[in-house]
Chains A and B, each alone.
Chain A
Amino acid sequence: MNKILIASHGHLASGVQSSLEILTGMGNKVTVIDAYVDDHDYVPDIKKFIDELDGQTGIIFTDLFGGSVNQKVMLEVADHENVFVITGTNLPIVLSVVLEGEEITKAKLEELIAASQVQLVEEPKDDTDLSDDSFLE
């Protein structure tokens, strides 16, 4: 499975981990950083995640583009071409990446991101009920 770190201001990261655990039982497969909930310096935790990749592909999710967590991550991933950084993180994109069986590529990530956008929920327009025959065609 792809190596994943989620880093956020506050408990969003561990909250996403909790949702992952409930939906897939795979909460323990991701590393999380809840920044600023105490005085702990989280930059070494980012470094440790990148070091332990040992050249393998890794994906780091952050909460806000330009936010301080994202800035710290960008400083650490500089010169590490094996690490992708995704920001504006939501649960669908984390789920998609966690459940992706193959090694992540940039093209694959772009495809998963496109399918994981926030959206306005409307009743499905296609309200036709299939008959048994049309289903089995």
Chain B
Amino acid sequence: MIAQLRVDDRLIHGQVALVWTKELDTPGIVVANDNAANNEMVQMTLKMATPTGKKLLIRSVDDAIKVFNNPKGKGMRMFALTNNVSDALKIAQNVSDIDGINVANVGRFADKSEGETHQVGSTLMLSDKELAALKELTKLDVPVFQQVVPSNPKSSIASMLKNK
């Protein structure tokens, strides 16, 4: 089961990964990202960022969905990461066992040539496509919130999207 699906454009990074895996008590981290699944250098950097004692799996989004739906993983608490909202939406639409979706940091390093970006809170810069995906995400039957670190309060994404 996915204890938390986190959207973070930096995927796994430093102490933040350490704090979240501790907070969520997740022995396994799954990075669901097509680029990372095909790029050995990116895989190396993600391995370096993985806290000691945690298992890491790097898969394309489609292959990650198979892992999340594998009956063997039912009792295993997993911390899942994507680096964009569209990938998170695809996972949420195809996996039923998700405790919560944390849309933490998105789009600050994205290609600005893709047209207008929409600022939602201080750490979300969304393209039209990403904004539409985020709206879809809030319609699903799973809590969608923003919480950069565990000591921050959870902010509801639905309320952040009002008037957008």
Contact = CB atoms under 8 A, between A and B. Distances in A.
Contacts, number: 55
Contacts of B14: 23, 92, 95
Nearest to B30: A135
30 contacts: A1-B151, A23-B13, A23-B16, A24-B16, A24-B148, A25-B122, A25-B149, A26-B149, A26-B151, A95-B14, A95-B15, A96-B15, A99-B15, A101-B150, A101-B151, A121-B48, A124-B44, A124-B47, A124-B48, A126-B47, A129-B58, A132-B70, A135-B28, A135-B30, A135-B55, A135-B57, A136-B28, A136-B67, A136-B72, A137-B72
A130 B151 contact: no
B152 interface: yes
A52 interface: no
Which bucket holds chain A's interface residue count? Answer: 20 to 34
A136 B70 contact: yes
Contact of B148 (A25, A136, A137): A25
- The SS class assigned to the A binding surface is loop
Contacts of A121: 48
Interface string B131-154: 000000000000000001111100
Which bucket holds chain B's interface residue count? Answer: 20 to 34
Contacts of A41: none
Given A25-B123, A135-B55, 11 more contacts: A1-B151, A23-B14, A25-B152, A26-B149, A99-B19, A121-B48, A124-B48, A129-B58, A130-B56, A132-B57, A136-B28
A137 B28 CA distance: 10
A123 interface: yes
